[in-house]
Chain A
Amino acid sequence: QKEVEQNSGPLSVPEGAIASLNCTYSDRGSQSFFWYRQYSGKSPELIMSIYSNGDKEDGRFTAQLNKASQYVSLLIRDSQPSDSATYLCAVKDAGNMLTFGGGTRLMVKP
């Protein structure tokens, strides 16, 4: 059973702070990793993808991947109230299916 684990939260950070969201996965054969943002009542929106070890930056977002530790994280710099949402980690295995974590609810307080 392939598993993707996230702390459900809520993770509460003040406006302007760095939010750090973490995800671990069980399948060592996993090859692609994704972060989605989901606002309440809406569908998931892809915000980052990462395929190799290290960091990948896109604006205020940085994804970090460590395949040896089976760990992927998302950092959000200068957090804004509009970043308040649930963040889903998704992992694609060699069979090309996505397994989603349960999501971490982020609250950014003004």
Chain B
Amino acid sequence: DVKVTQSSRYLVKRTGEKVFLECVQDMDHENMFWYRQDPGLGLRLIYFSYDVKMKEKGDIPEGYSVSREKKERFSLILESASTNQTSMYLCATDTDSSSYEQYFGPGTRLTVT
């Protein structure tokens, strides 16, 4: 089974803080993704990575950055958290280059006050 873990289930931060969300997968997959999910807006892609040190912007990258120093770990960084970044953050990984099935981690519910 594909296992994707995220560092925190719930996180509360203050406006202006730097926030790190960590995602780890144990299946040696090349592709990893960060989404956010908001009521009425659905799942939106923030960033993705197809290899170590490689990253591509998704649909809503503003206010975020990412880091992928090791294949199994993909970090999402909020440089200066704002209240409009309060959301559920979901990490996902592809199974392989033929099926492209994405599997999600448990999610981190971030509240910025």
Contact = CB atoms under 8 A, between A and B. Distances in A.
Contacts of B99: 32, 49
B42 A43 contact: no
Contacts of A34: 101-102
Nearest to B97: A96
Interface stretch (B13-21, B70-78, B104-112): B104-112
B100 A43 contact: no
Interface string A87-110: 010101000111011110000000
A42 interface: yes
Contact of A43 (B40, B45, B106): B106
Contacts of A45: 104
A96 B100 contact: yes
B107 A42 contact: yes
Contacts of A88: 42-43
Contacts of B31: 96
Contacts of B104: 43-45
B103 interface: yes
B43 A100 contact: yes
Contacts of B46: none
Contacts of A43: 90, 104-107
Which 10 interchain pairs have the tightest Cβ spacing?
A43-B104, A100-B43, A43-B107, A102-B42, A44-B104, A92-B100, A100-B42, A43-B106, A32-B100, A43-B90
Interface of B: 31, 33, 40, 42-43, 45, 48, 58, 90, 99-107
